[in-house]
Homo-oligomer: A and B are copies of this chain.
C-alpha cells in the first residue's frame, strides 16, 4: 500500500494567501454591494509596459512562422536573456557574475521553494521572523523542520531570527549556527533593508561557519537610498557562500507572466562539488525552461526604453507607498518600510491581534491587508499593506482607514 509524504500533514492550516483569498471571497459574496480594495497579496495592478507588450507580440509572431518557431528552450535559459541579466544586474553594479551562473526560471516563488532540494535533509535552516511563508513551508514538506509547537507557532529544528522594532525589523546574527540562511532584502513583509556593511557581516559570518545564504532580492528595484546593496554579490566573499533569487514580478509587473532567475556562483562548493552543477542537474531533470516569448519579454526589461518605462512604473508604486506611509503616520499609526520597498509594515491599533485587525479592516473599511502573524510569531500585532494597488484605490483605502474610529 502506498504512503503519503506525511510531512505535508504537519503543515498548519493552508497557505497564508489562500486563506486570505477565501476570507475575502466569502466577504464579497455576502456583501456584493461593497467595493473591497485589496492591498494584501503583493500582486501588481499596472498593465505591462508598452515595450514588454511589443516584445511579446514580436515573439508570438515568431512562434507562428516555421523559420522562426522555437521549441524547447535551453534548460537554463536563452543566452540573450542570461547575457542581459549578467550585464545589467551584475556587471554594471561591479558584481562578478557570469551569464552561465544565471538560471532562468518561471519565478522566484518556485525557485525559493525548490532551492532547498539540493541540500541535505539534516541541514538546519535559519529564517527571519516574520518571513515569506514559502521558505519555511517548502522545508516542512521536505522534512527538515522537526516538530511544530502550536503554542509558539514555531518548528523545533528551525532557527528563528526575530525582526522586531528593537532591531529595525532586520535580523541579527543567530545564536545557534545554521547551515542555510534565508535572507530577503528589501524585506518581505517588513520592508526593512540593511546597508552594505551590515550585509557584509552576514557574508563574512556565512563564510566563517560554512553556511549558505539564500538571498531573495525580488524587491531590489524599489531601493531608493544610497548604500543599500541591490545584490549580495556587491559584498566581498559572497561568491563562496551565497545564492541569489530574483524576480521580474515586481520590477516589471510579471506576476501573471512568470519569469525569474537564480544565481549560483561556481565558487560555491561543498568539498569538491559545486552547487552550480546540482542546480543545473535539477533544472535539466525537473524543469523544461521558461517560455520563449516570455524570455523575450524579460530581455525587453533591460532595453533602454524598457528601463525608462519600468522606472516610471516603480515610481508610481513608490508614490503609493509614500501616500500610505504618510497617511497612516498622520493618523497615529506606527509604520515602517515603504522607503526602499513596496511594503508598509504597521502596528495594529490598541491590543488587536493581526487577524483581528484583518477582519476589522475588511468589515469596516473593506480594505484587505495581510496579517503579520501569518508571516511568523514575531509578526503578531503587525500588518502588511502593499503599494501595488492603483493610485486611486490606494488613496481611497488610506482615507477609509483614516476615517475609522477606535
Contact = CB atoms under 8 A, between A and B. Distances in A.
Interface residues of A, number: 84
A404 interface: no
Contacts of A50: 64
A66 B46 contact: yes
A211 B257 CA distance: 37
A57 interface: yes
Contacts of A1: 179, 209-211, 270
A117 interface: yes
Interface string A1-29: 11111101101001101100000000000
B48 A120 contact: no
Contacts of A245: none
Nearest to A137: B285
A173 interface: no
A278 interface: yes
A47 B67 CA distance: 8
Contacts of A138: 285-286
A46 B253 CA distance: 31
Contact of A292 (B52, B123, B256): B256
Contacts of A253: 69, 71
Contacts of A154: none
Given A3-B120, A47-B66, A15 B71 contact: no
Given A2-B179, A3-B270, A60-B60, A66 B284 contact: no
A15 B285 CA distance: 7
A337 to B, nearest CB: 21
Contacts of A6: 120
Nearest to A260: B288
A288 to B, nearest CB: 4
A63 B256 contact: yes
Nearest to A74: B21
Given A69-B45, A211-B2, A64 B53 contact: yes
Contact of A4 (B3, B14, B69, B120): B120
A89 interface: no
Interface string A269-291: 01001010010011011111111
Nearest to A254: B291
Nearest to A180: B2
Contact of A56 (B43, B60, B71, B285): B60
Contacts of A70: 256
A18 B60 contact: no
A44 B69 CA distance: 10
Nearest to A279: B8
A13 to B, nearest CB: 10
Contact of A64 (B45, B47, B61, B120): B47
Interface stretch (A108-116, A349-357, A366-374): A108-116
13 contacts: A1-B211, A4-B273, A5-B120, A5-B121, A56-B60, A63-B256, A109-B287, A134-B286, A255-B288, A257-B291, A257-B293, A258-B288, A291-B291
